[in-house]
Amino acid sequence: IKFSAAVLSVITLFSISSCNIEPVDSDLLGNLINPASVAGTYRMTAFNTGIPTDLNNDRVASTNQMLETTCFNGSSIVINPDGTFRATSKGVDISASSSITCFSDPDITGTWTLNATVLKLTYVDTGVVVDDLFSVSGNTLLYSVPQGQVVGTSSTNVPIFLTTSYNIVYTK
């Protein structure tokens, strides 16, 4: 009876203490991913497109638009430990006079959840609930779009919209 009581006590102790352990996952490189490790400030470090573009007209096209223009500088996502976030979005557009111009959208705020290595940011945009999904790997967030529009230039250096895949990389 003493042995059974001791085993039952140990099982109960482990059951109670295990309730306080956060879910932990790891990315492909073995980095531990949990809500505490995801919190922080991430800055956009790459805007990679499926089609090389030459936005600065230096005759050197790049798949990373951040090497072509400073319009994306200052884009960031702040992931707060309390399950909220704030995103600052800057980018490149084509003006009414057909020239390349920078834009800055109003900040977006919302909530976030983490499921394994997928970070979901949820917010409301013009009355519609939006869920953006990011892959988490170490100190990097990756947002992928299989087909979307990006700014590029024609063979005569006229700004045009191109349909292509793109990935946005944020680094903490």
In order, the DSSP letters of 53-79 are: E-TT-SS--EEEGGGT-STTTT-EEEE
Of 94, 93, 140, whose CA–CA distance to 117 is shortest?
Answer: 140
Contacts of residue 29, defined as CB under 8 A and 6 or more positions apart, other chains included, come to 137, 138
Region of 38 (left: φ > 0; alpha: ψ -120 to 50; beta: rest) is: alpha
User: Using CB atoms within 10 A of its CB, is residue 134 exposed (0-12), middle (13-18) or buried (19+)?
Assistant: buried
pTM for this structure? 0.80
pLDDT at 54: 94
Q: How many residues does the chain have?
A: 172
> Which residues is 74 bridged to in the sheet?
none
Residues 38/84, Cβ–Cβ less than 8 Å: no
CB atoms closer than 10 angstroms to residue 24? 11
Question: Which pLDDT value is given to residue 169?
Answer: 98
Amino acid 112: pLDDT:
97
What is the model's pLDDT at position 38? 94
Supply angle C-alpha 34, 35, 41, rounded to 5.
115
Average pLDDT per block of 10 residues along the chain, 172 residues long: 38 37 47 77 98 94 96 97 97 94 96 94 96 95 96 92 97 97
Q: Report the alpha-carbon distance of residue 171 to residue 75 in Å, rounded.
A: 11
